[in-house]
Structure 1
Amino acid sequence: MAVQKLYAGAKLREIRSGLGLTQKMFAEKLSVSLPYLNQMENNNRPVSTGVVLALAREFGYDVTELSTGDGERMVSDMREALADPVFTDGNESLVDAGVPLADLRLAASNAPALARAFLNLHGAYRQSQERLAAMNEALGGHGTAATTSPWEEVRDFFHYCDNYVDAIDRAAEHFSMPGGRELNADALIARTLSTLGIELVLSDDAPLRHFDTENSRLTLSRRAAPETRRFQALLQIALLTQDELLEATLDFARFQSEASRSIAKMGLANYFAGAALMPYRAFRQATLETRHDLERLADLFNASIEQVAHRLSTLQRKGDKGVPFFFVRVDQAGTITKRHSATLLQFARYGGACPLWNVHQAFETPGRFLRQLAETPDGVRYLCLARDVSKSGGSFAAPVRRYAIGLGCEVKHADALVYADDMDLGQGPFEPIGISCRICERERCHQRSVPPLERQLSVDPDRRGVLPYKVVR
Structure 2
Amino acid sequence: MPVQKLYAGAKLRELRGRLSLTQKDFAGKLGVSLPYLNQMENNNRPVSTAVVLGLAQEFGFDVTELQSGDEARLVGDMREALADPVFAGDAPALADLRLTAANAPALARAFLDLHAAYRQTHERLASLDEALGREDARLQPSPWEEVRDFFHYCDNYIDAVDRSAERFAASRQPGETMAEAALRALDAAGIKVVFSNIDTIRRFDPETRTLAMSQRSNKATQTFQLLLQLALETQGKLLDATLDLARFQSDAARDVAKVGLANYFAGAALMPYAAFLEAARNTRHDLEVLATQFGASLEQVAHRLSTLQRPGAKGIPFFFVRVDQAGTITKRHSATTLQFARYGGACPLWNVHQAFEVPSQFLRQLAETPDGVRYFCLARDVSKSGGAYDTPTRRYAIGLGCEVKHAHALVYADHMDISAAQAYAPIGISCRICERRNCHQRSVPPLERNLRVDPNQRGTLPYQLD
Q: TM-score, normalised by structure 1?
A: 0.94
After superposition, the C-alpha distances for 1:264-318 in whole angstroms (9 at most, x for unaligned) are: 1110111011111111111111111111110000000000000000111111111
* Amino acid in structure 1 at the alignment position of 2:435: E
Q: Is the 8 A contact 1:211 1:217 kept in 2?
A: yes
Give the secondary structure class of the aligned counterpart of 1:385.
Answer: strand
Q: Is the 8 A contact 1:176 1:182 kept in 2?
A: no
Shift of the alpha carbon at 1:3? 4.3
Structure 2 distance, partners of 1:50, 1:130, is: 51
Structure 1 distance, partners of 2:381, 2:258, is: 28
Give the secondary structure class of the aligned counterpart of 1:439.
Answer: coil
5+ long unaligned stretches in structure 2: none
Structure 2 distance, partners of 1:69, 1:240, is: 33
Structure 2 distance, partners of 1:143, 1:390, is: 39
In the alignment, structure 1 residue 463 sits paired with structure 2 residue 429: no
Q: Which residue of 1 aligns with 2:427?
A: 433
Q: Which residue of 2 aligns with 1:361?
A: 354
After superposition, the C-alpha distances for 1:332-353 in whole angstroms (9 at most, x for unaligned) are: 0000000011111111111100
Q: Which residue of 2 aligns with 1:101?
A: 94
Q: Which residue of 2 aligns with 1:44?
A: 44
Q: Is the 8 A contact 1:374 1:383 kept in 2?
A: yes
* Amino acid in structure 1 at the alignment position of 2:465: V
Count of paired positions? 465
Shift of the alpha carbon at 1:179? 7.1
**Matched ranges for 1:338-417 at <5 A:** 338-417=331-410
Q: Which residue of 2 aligns with 1:225?
A: 218
Shift of the alpha carbon at 1:325? 0.7
- Which is worse superposed, 344-353 or 424-433? 424-433
Shift of the alpha carbon at 1:470? 1.1
Q: Which residue of 2 aligns with 1:77?
A: 77
After superposition, the C-alpha distances for 1:212-257 in whole angstroms (9 at most, x for unaligned) are: 2222221111111111111111111111111111111111111000
Pick the aligned partner of 2:202 from 190, 209, 221.
209
Give the secondary structure class of the aligned counterpart of 2:182.
Answer: helix
After superposition, the C-alpha distances for 1:101-143 in whole angstroms (9 at most, x for unaligned) are: 2221221121111111111111111111111111123465244
Structure 2 distance, partners of 1:139, 1:257, is: 18
Shift of the alpha carbon at 1:450? 1.3
Structure 2 distance, partners of 1:159, 1:291, is: 26
* Amino acid in structure 2 at the alignment position of 1:381: R
* Amino acid in structure 2 at the alignment position of 1:388: D
- Which is worse superposed, 105-114 or 263-272? 105-114
Shift of the alpha carbon at 1:195? 1.2
Give the secondary structure class of the aligned counterpart of 2:274.
Answer: helix
Q: Is the 8 A contact 1:166 1:317 kept in 2?
A: yes
Give the secondary structure class of the aligned counterpart of 2:253.
Answer: helix
Pick the aligned partner of 2:166 from 158, 173, 176.
173
Q: Aligned in 2, Cα 1:444/1:152: closer, same or farther, shift over 3 Å?
A: same
Structure 2 distance, partners of 1:212, 1:402, is: 30
- Which is worse superposed, 442-451 or 30-39? 30-39
Give the secondary structure class of the aligned counterpart of 1:46.
Answer: coil
Q: Is the 8 A contact 1:327 1:341 kept in 2?
A: yes
Structure 2 distance, partners of 1:346, 1:448, is: 18
Q: Aligned in 2, Cα 1:263/1:200: closer, same or farther, shift over 3 Å?
A: same
- Which is worse superposed, 20-29 or 147-156? 20-29
After superposition, the C-alpha distances for 1:84-115 in whole angstroms (9 at most, x for unaligned) are: 211113xxx3x2xxx22222122112111111
* Amino acid in structure 2 at the alignment position of 1:187: E
Shift of the alpha carbon at 1:33? 3.2
Q: Which residue of 2 aligns with 1:243?
A: 236
Q: Which residue of 2 aligns with 1:443?
A: 437
Structure 1 distance, partners of 2:435, 2:2, is: 16
Pick the aligned partner of 2:260 from 252, 256, 267.
267
Q: Is the 8 A contact 1:137 1:143 kept in 2?
A: no
Q: Which residue of 1 aligns with 2:55?
A: 55
Give the secondary structure class of the aligned counterpart of 2:198.
Answer: coil
Structure 2 distance, partners of 1:166, 1:210, is: 28
5+ long unaligned stretches in structure 1: none
After superposition, the C-alpha distances for 1:161-218 in whole angstroms (9 at most, x for unaligned) are: 0001111111111111117979521221221122123222122233110012222221
Shift of the alpha carbon at 1:60? 2.4
Give the secondary structure class of the aligned counterpart of 1:390.
Answer: strand
Structure 1 distance, partners of 2:281, 2:353, is: 29
* Amino acid in structure 1 at the alignment position of 2:61: Y
Q: Is the 8 A contact 1:325 1:341 kept in 2?
A: yes
Structure 2 distance, partners of 1:200, 1:47, is: 55
Structure 2 distance, partners of 1:31, 1:417, is: 40
Give the secondary structure class of the aligned counterpart of 1:353.
Answer: coil
After superposition, the C-alpha distances for 1:30-56 in whole angstroms (9 at most, x for unaligned) are: 343332222111111122233223322
Q: Which residue of 2 aligns with 1:5?
A: 5
Report % sequence identity.
Answer: 70
Q: TM-score, normalised by structure 2?
A: 0.96
In the alignment, structure 1 residue 189 sits paired with structure 2 residue 182: yes
Structure 2 distance, partners of 1:21, 1:217, is: 53
- Which is worse superposed, 329-338 or 225-234? 225-234
After superposition, the C-alpha distances for 1:55-74 in whole angstroms (9 at most, x for unaligned) are: 22333221221111422211
* Amino acid in structure 1 at the alignment position of 2:41: E
Shift of the alpha carbon at 1:23? 2.9
Pick the aligned partner of 2:107 from 114, 119, 142.
114
After superposition, the C-alpha distances for 1:418-465 in whole angstroms (9 at most, x for unaligned) are: 112111222251111100111111111111111112322111111111
Give the secondary structure class of the aligned counterpart of 1:402.
Answer: strand
Structure 2 distance, partners of 1:207, 1:300, is: 27
* Amino acid in structure 2 at the alignment position of 1:421: D
Q: Aligned in 2, Cα 1:341/1:220: closer, same or farther, shift over 3 Å?
A: same
Structure 2 distance, partners of 1:204, 1:451, is: 51
Give the secondary structure class of the aligned counterpart of 1:192.
Answer: helix
Q: Is the 8 A contact 1:68 1:343 kept in 2?
A: no
